[in-house]
Amino acid sequence: MPHYRRSLGFTFLEGTKLRWEDLFRGREEIAPTASFKTYPQASKVSLPRVHPPAADIFEVLARRRSERLYARRPLSLEELALLLWAAQGVTARAGRYLLRTAPSAGALYPIETYLSVHRVEGLPPGLYHLEIPDWALALLSPGNFGPEIKEAALGQGFCETAAVVFVWSAVPRRTMAKYGSRGVRYIFLDAGHLVQNLLLAAEALDLAACPVGAFLDDALNQLLGLDGEEETVIYLATVGRPGR
């Protein structure tokens, strides 16, 4: 009789299905954590308040393609601010919630945004964190980290030649405190929403962008000083001017 080991993926999907009987049972006890991450000691660059240009959403949807060839010309700070706004801009306040351009299960916003800036006018190269309450970038480490990002992304060269690489981490506890282990599903759905917003905004600005899921998680966690459990990198996207 052959020995079948159940795949972790199927076990996760089965174990996190929502069933009527679960609604009447006690939830998994998972302590909550802060809704925002900030780096109070870091020097900050305020993001310009920008007006999104008009664009036909259906035309943008039809044009979008993953593009991996980038020109040397840098992005402007205004373009970067528009991309960040598309992904995580605050568009309304509801009580203590800062509602964003992208939806989030329970309005819990478990995704943090980091940038590896390579070529953006007026922004020295470095690793940055997006500070939601101040709408500013906190400088974590100066320098060009393109080679490190490329290496962590299994040698994918366009991670180095991009003008900027967006790096998204999850703080699972934010969502799991409400939804238990099922919350992990929601975290990845949240990430899909906000990254698609970024990809469509890049297309609307005539920029080139590509989502990246192939990377060594802990290499990027280490680069950003994340512990890989309470906060862990889950997705990347590269952006630059089209190189064709």
Ligand X SMILES: Cc1cc2nc3c(=O)[nH]c(=O)nc-3n(C[C@H](O)[C@H](O)[C@H](O)COP(=O)(O)O)c2cc1C
Per CB under 6 A, residues contacting ligand X are 65-66, 68, 156, 210-214
Tokens of 174: 């934010």
In this structure, are residues 195 and 168 in contact, taking their beta carbons and an 8 Å threshold? yes
For ligand X, the closer of residues 128 and 158 by Cβ is: 158
Q: Which is nearer to ligand X, 98 or 233 (CB)?
A: 233
Other CB atoms within a 10 A radius of the CB of residue 239 amount to 26
Distance of closest approach, residue 187 Cβ to ligand X, in angstroms = 14
CB of 12 to ligand X, least distance (A): 17
Q: What is Dmax (Cα atoms) for the chain?
A: 65
Cβ distance to ligand X smaller for residue 177 or 234: 234
Contact criterion met (CB below 8 Å) for 180 and 28:
yes
Cβ-contact 42, 127 below 8 angstroms = no
Amino acid identity, position 173: R
> In the bound complex, what is the minimum distance in angstroms from residue 71's beta carbon to ligand X?
18
Nearer to ligand X, 16 or 196 (CB): 196
CA 1/CA 234 separation, integer angstroms: 38
Minimal distance in Å, beta carbon 161 to ligand X?
A: 13
- Measured from each CB, the residue nearest to ligand X is 213
Ramachandran region, residue 178 (left: φ > 0; alpha: ψ -120 to 50; beta: rest): alpha
- In the bound complex, what is the minimum distance in angstroms from residue 202's beta carbon to ligand X? 12
Nearer to ligand X, 103 or 122 (CB): 103
| Structure letter (DSSP) for residue 99 | E
Beta carbon of residue 10, minimum distance to ligand X (angstroms, whole number): 19
In this complex, which beta carbon is closest to ligand X, that of residue 68 or of residue 174?
68
Phi, psi torsion values for 23, nearest 5 degrees: -65, -25
Percent helix / strand / coil, the chain, rounded to 5: 35, 25, 40
